[in-house]
Amino acid sequence: MKYNRTFIIFLIWAGIIEGISTLGLFFVAMPMKYYYDTPEAVKIAGMTHGFLFLGLVAMFIIGKSQNLITTRMMWGGIVGAILPFGPFVVDVKLYKLLQTKK
């Protein structure tokens, strides 16, 4: 299967941004909520993370529906989006795919 390089690059960037939002939620917003009694941080970071998560999942589904990626890649990306640090693992695999398919 010939992959759409531009779409793969967008998936990589979306995964990086979503992964960073997860880290911000876990390591910034949640400690602020529990140690400094500021629940607003989790509301903002959680909503942002949720939006980015749904966007990443939608990108994998759209990629599959447009035959830009394989079914295995779609499911791997969705499972990776659910797991903490998963988007970074998926991004490494996507980047390696770009390097081999020049």
Residue-range domain boundaries for the chain: 5-100
Q: What pLDDT is stored for residue 55 in this prediction?
A: 96
Better-predicted residue by pLDDT, 101 or 65: 65
Q: What pLDDT is stored for residue 102 in this prediction?
A: 57
- List, for residues 57-93, the tens digit of each pLDDT value: 999 999 999 988 889 999 999 999 999 899 999 999 9
User: What is this structure's pTM?
Assistant: 0.88
Q: Over the Cα atoms of the chain, what is R_g?
A: 15
pLDDT of 26 over the 90 cut: yes
